[in-house]
Structure 1
Amino acid sequence: MVMTDEMMKAVENDLVFFATSTADGVPNVVPIGFAKPIDSEHILIVDNYMHKTHENLEKNPEAALVVKDAKKCPYQFKGKVEIFESGKIFDDAVEWVTNVMSKQPKAAMLMTVEKIYSVQPGPDAGKQVD
């Protein structure tokens, strides 16, 4: 699934909420300040303080992400997440975060957007976007 320029700008410029679940389905949602698309199909999410989220993704790579301001970006993004603790994706995350704060990230997470759903109130709420 491909994100539009509008979707990508909203993810990069707003707080996002990142949802994961344990292998047996116990949900967890956290606010994320460091999330940005790296292209129209992938979102980089930086793990600065995650505990449950990181553990969940190790056992269940499925996740969902929504932007705080649904008026700017009324979409939910779902897909699989890979965790990187070294290599180019991790290095890019370290460079991004250390330019803003002194803490080095624990990991970089790369979400491949597989489905996009509307969260806009009304008749299309919950429907998959083509």
Structure 2
Amino acid sequence: MTMTKEMIDAVEKDLVFLATSSKEGIPNVVPIGFARPIDDETILIADNYMNKTRKNLEENPNISLVTKDATKCPFQFKGKIEIVESGKYFDIVTEWGQNAMTKLTPKAAILMKVEEIYSIQPGPDAGKKIG
């Protein structure tokens, strides 16, 4: 699924919230500060502190990501992930971590392939599939 510039900007600008589920269906939602689109169909996410989230991703590759500001850029992205622990994308998230004030050392890069996009704008179109 192709993201528009507005959607890409919404992911890049602020925190996003990442929802996962265990193989038993137990949900987990966490704020993520290191998530950036790398093209119009893929979002790169740094695994800096993931514990329950990482376990869930290993058991169930389906995720949902929501942008923070529901009044300006309100989107929900759904897709599947790949966990990468070396190579180009791991190097990118490692660089993000080293450039952060806290000098993070990421454990992995998570590549999310966007498969569906929904509006979460409050009002009559809330939940409408837009991509």
TM over 0.5: yes
Partners of 2:15 and 2:72 in 1: how far apart?
A: 12
- Aligned 8 A contact 2:71 2:122 in 1: no
Report deviation, 1:118: 1.0
Q: What is residue 110 of structure 2 aligned with on the other side?
A: 109
Partners of 1:9 and 1:121 in 2: how far apart?
A: 19
Report deviation, 1:35: 0.6
Q: What is residue 28 of structure 2 aligned with on the other side?
A: 28
Secondary structure (helix, strand or coil) at the match of 1:7 reads helix
Number of aligned residue pairs: give it: 130
- Aligned 8 A contact 2:70 2:122 in 1: no
Query: Is the aligned partner of 1:72 residue 2:38?
Result: no
Partners of 1:88 and 1:97 in 2: how far apart?
A: 14
1:35-69 CA distance string (max 9 Å, x none): 11001101011011010000000010000001111
**1:52-67 → structure 2 map (5 Å cutoff):** 52-67=52-67
Report deviation, 1:123: 1.7
Report deviation, 1:72: 2.2
**1:1-130 → structure 2 map (5 Å cutoff):** 1-100=1-100, 101-130=102-131
Partners of 1:74 and 1:65 in 2: how far apart?
A: 11
Q: What runs of 5+ residues in structure 2 fail to find an aligned partner?
A: none
Partners of 1:43 and 1:118 in 2: how far apart?
A: 18
TM-score relative to the length of structure 1: 0.96
Runs of 4+ aligned structure 1 residues displaced above 6 Å come to none
Secondary structure (helix, strand or coil) at the match of 1:112 reads strand
Overall identity of the aligned pairs, in %: 66
Partners of 1:119 and 1:103 in 2: how far apart?
A: 32
Secondary structure (helix, strand or coil) at the match of 1:122 reads coil
Range with greater deviation from structure 2 (51-60 or 67-76): 67-76
Match of 2:12, as an amino acid?
E
